[in-house]
Amino acid sequence: MSQPPDHRLRRLLLVHAHPDDESINNGATMAKYAAEGAAVTLVTCTLGEEGEVIPPGLAHLAADRDDILGEYRIGELAAAMKELGVTDHRFLGGPGRYRDSGMMGAPQNERPGCFWQADLDEAAGDLVEVIREVQPQVLVTYDTNGGYGHPDHIKAHQVAMRAADLAADPAHGDGEPHTISKIYWNCVPRSVVEEGFRRLRAAGRSFPFEGIATADDVPGVLDDAQVTAAIDAGAHAERKSAAMRAHATQIAVDGPFFALSNDLGQPVFATEYYRLVRGTPGTGGGADAREDDLFAGLGV
Ligand SMILES: CC(=O)N[C@H]1[C@@H](O[C@@H]2[C@H](O)[C@H](O)[C@@H](O)[C@H](O)[C@H]2O)O[C@H](CO)[C@@H](O)[C@@H]1O
Ligand SMILES: [Zn+2]
């Protein structure tokens, strides 16, 4: 039987598709709130079984070889959470319940048991259990396109939003209903992306990446005015980089830059951005009148 949540604490729930997404999108935010004593819960929907593998010595883990990458990425995620100081991380429905669906259009999208094929209400029901146990005031997930159109990211968005509705519905299932006060979608202001790539191109450094990505490769780019919160977690930038490094099969990090297995360099953002899509914004303490705290206005 799980313990009831400590209602005195700030409680943040993040829902992600694969091990590595949490560190890339929210690593600094997670480290910041964990360091401040908030209860941070991560739910990852798949084990990332279909990922490519960067280190040649680990290539055997891949789905088309030994097919043990998912098990290996459980360890990478645990190491990343240790770097961020996050102690509550779970897999939706338990480890391996929903398999990585591969990139949009891949044959793996049709594989029985993959997340893309999961029944929405069944998967959302698994998340309702976590929501009603943890009772978060704030939920973070992807936008409707999953940031960049990956099927598992799109499904993670759909499951998170559906579960938020079901968890609040007294007529749904067992347990006390819980209404999440604020829901945010990950995003990045276009001006920040453009500046980040300008820095990357100007660096001219001999970093180990084959090429340089483009703004279109960055998930969730929005016009600046649509971005409603900026969490400056620069003090935790090193923790974010260390967490990204822990996902070594997926991410190569070089100073303020990183690359996925496509070997295209991108900037690491220590300020992480969000768009409030449900709930009332707090007073904007940050620049551009944006919120500088995801719990702003909640009195916690
Ligand atoms: C960040 C993210 O969502 N990674 C996913 C993604 O990985 C990409 C995929 O392997 C693609 O083929 C590569 O070109 C790209 O570099 C990778 O980032 O999709 C994987 C398969 O679904 C998933 O395991 C990985 O976590
Ligand atoms: Zn992902």
Whether 89 has a binding-site annotation, put simply, is no
Distance CA 152, CA 165 (A): 20
- As a whole number, mean pLDDT of residues 37-41 equals 98
Whether residue 150 is annotated as binding a ligand: the answer is no
- The predicted model gives 66-86 an average pLDDT of 98
The count of other CB atoms within 10 Å of the CB of residue 300 is: 13
Q: Taking a C-beta distance cutoff of 8 angstroms, is the pair 70, 48 a contact?
A: yes
In this structure, of 3-12, 205-214, 223-232, the range with the lowest mean pLDDT score is: 205-214
Ligand 1: nearest atom to the Cα of 263: 16
Q: Which of 111, 94, 109 is nearest to 43 (CA)?
A: 94
Nearest CA to ligand 1 atom 14: 262
* Average pLDDT score over residue span 230-256: 96
3-state secondary structure of 151: helix
Q: Please identify every residue whose CB atom is under 5 Å from ligand 2, which is an ion.
A: 17-18, 21
Q: Is 247 annotated as a binding residue?
A: no
The lowest-confidence range among 40-54, 201-215, 266-280 is 201-215
Q: Which residues are CB-neighbours of 223 under 8 A, at least 6 positions away?
A: 189, 190
Percentage of residues in the chain having pLDDT higher than 90 = 87
Ligand 2 geometric centre to CA of 9 (Å)? 29
**Measured between alpha carbons, how far is 12 from 38 in angstroms, rounded to an integer?**
7
pLDDT at 211: 87
Give me the pLDDT at residue 284, please. Answer: 74
> Rounded to an integer, what distance in angstroms lies between the CA atom of residue 128 and that of residue 121?
10
Shortest CA distance to 246 belongs to which of 89, 75, 62, 86? 75
Mean pLDDT of 202-224: 84
Q: What is the pLDDT of residue 268?
A: 94
State the ipTM, two decimals: 0.98
CA dihedral 200, 204, 205, 208 (to 10 degrees): 70
E-strand stretches of the chain: 11-16, 39-44, 88-91, 138-141, 182-189, 211-212, 221-222, 229-232, 252-254, 257-259, 264-267, 271-278
Query: For residue 210, which amino acid is it?
Result: E
| Residue 270 structure tokens | 């220590």
Whether the pLDDT of residue 110 is over 60: the answer is yes
Query: Does the structure show a pLDDT above 90 at 49?
Result: yes
Largest CA distance in the chain: 59
Please measure the distance between the N-terminal and C-terminal CA atoms of the chain and give it in whole angstroms. 26
For residue 1, pLDDT over 90 is answered with no
* Average of per-residue pLDDT across 126-141: 98
pLDDT of amino acid 14? 99
CA-nearest residue for atom 7, ligand 1, is 51
What's the pLDDT score for residue 3? 76
User: What is the position in ligand 1's atom list of the atom closest to the CA of 51?
Assistant: 24
Round the average pLDDT of the chain to a whole number and report it: 95
For the beta carbon of residue 286, count every other beta carbon within 10 angstroms: 16
- Give the residue, out of 15, 16, 18, with the most ligand 1 atoms within 8 A of its beta carbon, to mutate for a pocket test: 18
- Average pLDDT over every residue of 212-232: 93
